[in-house]
Amino acid sequence: MSGGLDAPLCTLAFCWRIERRDGVTIGLTSHDRHLEIEGLAYRAAPGMTPAAVRGGIGLEGEDSDVAGALSSEAISEADLMAGRWDGAALELRLTQWEEPGDLWLLLARGEIGAVSRKGAGFTAELIGAAAVLGAPVAPSTSPDCRARLGDGACRVDLSGRRRIVTVAAVEEADVTVSGLAAGAYAFGTLRWLTGPNAGLVQAVADNGAEGLSLVDPPAFAVATGTLALLTEGCDRQIATCAGRFGNAVNFQGEPYLPGMDLLTRYPGA
């Protein structure tokens, strides 16, 4: 490193490396020209600023905010509001723009959390690794299953419970798809494979033989013939787990544990 923070003149620039959950990775820098570091081009985005970065010893973790201007070439308003950047991995580093990468100081690392928009700008919360310290040590008891269908705790094989479908029409949150088993995809997911929504995953509320209802309308318009991947869902009840999936041995809940309402019952009721 030819110069550090103790040099008489520091030519410093912030660099953000943002990797979305679908693998798309971009680099942004506060410098007024593009920088290339470790094979990634960091595009000039002078409107990007770290609003507050704090670090210390304790259980609070690191709190930070990243603010910036919406750009159609980097982070568009449509993609931001559609949730494409939710949960994206973000690194904030400091470098010297005269010798990019020579100084490569990590300031913050985490995932993008809550995003708020105001006018032509946005502010994103950066959730640090220490946030896991705030998670419960032991799960709370529940009559419903705490596992997600097909995960490591559930262990149901989803290989035969997914299918690619062709969308005939979309009206608000109702999607017309033929040849479905009624109720099979309720509480499941729909992942768009083609079109402007490609890569986005939406929750399915219910389905019939000729269509399904999403929890929310698609973020972008859907054309006839768009392909989507449907994955079956589960209502997390013991009867469904045992009867439909034959998986009661892996049920992650306490369906027969008396609830708090037991204390309010009258004797002999």
HEC string for the chain: CCCCCCCCCCCEEEEEEEECCCCCEEEEECCCCCEEECCEEEEECCCCEEEEECCCCCCCCCEEEEEEECCCCCCCHHHHHHCCCCCCEEEEEEEECCCECCECEEEEEEEEEEEEEECCEEEEEEEEHHHHHHCCCCCCCCCCCCCCCCCCCCCCCCCCCEEEEECCEEECCEEECCCCCCCCCCCCEEEECCCCCCCCEEEEEEECCCEEEECCCCCCCCCCCCEEEEECCCCCCHHHHHHCCCCHHHCCCCCCCCCHHHHHCCCCC
pLDDT digits (tens, 9 = 90+) for 108-156: 888 887 777 776 677 777 777 666 677 777 888 889 999 999 999 999 9
The pLDDT confidence band at residue 269, using thresholds 50, 70 and 90, is: low
Arithmetic mean of pLDDT, 31-46: 86
**pLDDT at residue 3 in the model:** 52
Confidence of residue 51 (pLDDT cuts 50, 70, 90): low
Percent of the chain predicted with pLDDT > 90? 39
pTM: 0.72
Same fold, 12-131 and 162-232: no
Q: What is the pLDDT of residues 64-116, one digit of tens each?
A: 666 666 565 677 777 877 888 888 888 888 898 888 888 898 888 888 877 77
The pLDDT value recorded for residue 227 is 96
Averaged pLDDT, 238-253: 94
Domain range 162-232, its CATH number among 3.40.50.300, 3.20.20.140, 2.102.10.10, 2.40.10.170: 2.40.10.170
Q: 121, 70 in Cβ contact below 8 A?
A: yes
Query: What pLDDT shows up at residue 82?
Result: 80
- Does residue 232 surpass a pLDDT of 90? yes
What percent of the chain stands above pLDDT 70?
78
At 83 the pLDDT is 81
First to last CA, the chain: 78
Long-range contacts, 252-258 (Cβ 8 Å, 24+): 252/145, 252/146, 252/147, 252/153, 252/154, 253/141, 253/142, 253/143, 253/144, 253/145, 253/146, 254/141, 254/142, 254/143, 255/143, 257/141, 257/143
Integer Cα distance of 41 and 36 in angstroms = 4
Give the per-residue pLDDT at 61.
46
CA distance 121 to 130: 28
Q: Would you state the pLDDT for residue 155?
A: 94
Kindly state the tokens that stand for 216. Answer: 């929310």
Arch. (CATH architecture) of 12-131: Roll (2.30)
pLDDT-derived band at 174, boundaries 50, 70, 90: very high
- Would you say residue 161 has pLDDT above 50? yes
pLDDT in the model for residue 190: 96
Q: What is the mean pLDDT of residues 153-163?
A: 93
Where residue 13 falls among pLDDT bands split at 50, 70, 90? confident
